[in-house]
């Protein structure tokens, strides 16, 4: 198979999604780290060679570069049980992956980054003013997940798919951003199911 290299910031949940998919599929992945707090993904070389958008993760496949975690996971998982064969289910998987990037990650992941990595004292006044809205948006996303998982073990197609991978990455560390999981038992049970899988790896592996 073509050599796979993950350009990443290891604590990022978006990067972890790709590592988790590769682990489940038994695919070897070289890793190259960048410190986003030091601007290492905004250097002229990175912008020219890896991603003009200045962001990680980027999955390098031979000499081609694929930014965006959802796209990279989809590339790796094509033809595997992590993507449902049924047309509606496959689209429904993308629906939850889009929900994660639009409604979950900008709230749950951003508050984790601001509070646990950057540090509240380093935030701008606008960022500080946004905390309540991001708290409410993240809680709404987690509540929606809780309601969905109350009746079913997985997000789509009654089995573990990329939708679960995408939502797991930042949900299982949501408490680092000050979100409460104790009162969301269906989400907690789903986290435990995923963590108990053979082949599962942790975010700090």
Q: Which of 80, 102, 152, 202 is the binder for its own copies (CB under 8 A)?
A: 102
Q: Which of 103, 116, 176, 201 is the binder for its own copies (CB under 8 A)?
A: 103
Which conformational region is residue 123 in: left (phi greater than 0), alpha (psi within -120 to 50 degrees), or beta? Answer: beta
Size of the site for its own copies (CB under 8 A): 34
Positions of E strands within 44-196: 58-61, 64-67
Q: Is 190 in the site for its own copies (CB under 8 A)?
A: no
Within 10 A of 78 (CB to CB), how many other CB atoms are there? 9
Least distance to its own copies, CB of residue 71, Å: 4
Taking the least distance from each CB to its own copies, the nearer of 63 and 121 is: 63
Taking the least distance from each CB to its own copies, the nearer of 2 and 204 is: 2
Taking the least distance from each CB to its own copies, the nearer of 66 and 174 is: 66
Instruction: Give me the 54-93 binding string for its own copies, x by CB under 8 A, dash otherwise.
Output: -------x--x-xxxxxxx-xx--x--------xx-xxx-
Q: Is 202 in the site for its own copies (CB under 8 A)?
A: no
Q: Distance (Å, rounded) from C-alpha 189 to C-alpha 118?
A: 30
Taking the least distance from each CB to its own copies, the nearer of 38 and 48 is: 48
**Residues 50/9, Cβ–Cβ less than 8 Å:** no
The answer for residues whose C-beta is within 8 angstroms of residue 64's C-beta and 6 or more apart is: none
Q: Distance (Å, rounded) from C-alpha 13 to C-alpha 74?
A: 16
Per-residue tokens: 204: 């700090």
Per-residue tokens: 16: 């972890």
Q: Distance (Å, rounded) from C-alpha 103 to C-alpha 19?
A: 22
Least distance to its own copies, CB of residue 168, Å: 18
Q: Is 136 in the site for its own copies (CB under 8 A)?
A: no
Q: Which of 10, 33, 106, 178 is the binder for its own copies (CB under 8 A)?
A: 106
Q: Is 131 in the site for its own copies (CB under 8 A)?
A: no
DSSP 3-state of 32: strand
Q: Which of 187, 190, 184 is nearest to 159 (CA)?
A: 190
Binding-site ranges for its own copies (CB under 8 A): 52-53, 61, 64, 66-72, 74-75, 78, 87-88, 90-92, 94-95, 98-99, 101-103, 106, 126, 129-130, 133, 144, 147-148
């Amino acid at each position: 198979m073509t050599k796979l290299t993950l350009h990443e910031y290891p604590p990022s949940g978006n990067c972890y999604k790709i590592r988790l998919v590769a682990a489940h599929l038994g695919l070897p992945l070289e890793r190259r780290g960048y410190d986003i707090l030091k601007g290492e993904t905004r250097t002229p070389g990175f912008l020219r060679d890896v991603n003009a958008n200045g962001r990680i993760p980027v999955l390098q496949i031979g000499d081609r570069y694929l930014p965006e975690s959802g796209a990279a996971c989809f590339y790796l998982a094509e033809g595997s049980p992590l993507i449902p064969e049924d047309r509606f289910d496959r689209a429904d998987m993308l629906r939850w992956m889009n929900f994660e990037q639009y409604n979950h990650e900008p709230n749950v992941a951003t508050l984790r980054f601001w509070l646990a990595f950057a540090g509240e004292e380093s935030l701008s006044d606008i960022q500080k003013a946004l905390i309540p809205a991001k708290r409410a948006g993240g809680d709404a996303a987690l509540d929606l997940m809780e309601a969905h998982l109350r009746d079913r073990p997985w997000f789509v197609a009654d089995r573990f798919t990329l939708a679960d991978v995408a939502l797991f990455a930042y949900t299982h560390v949501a408490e680092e951003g000050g979100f409460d999981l104790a009162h969301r038992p269906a989400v907690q049970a789903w986290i435990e199911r995923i963590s108990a899988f053979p082949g599962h790896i942790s975010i700090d592996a």
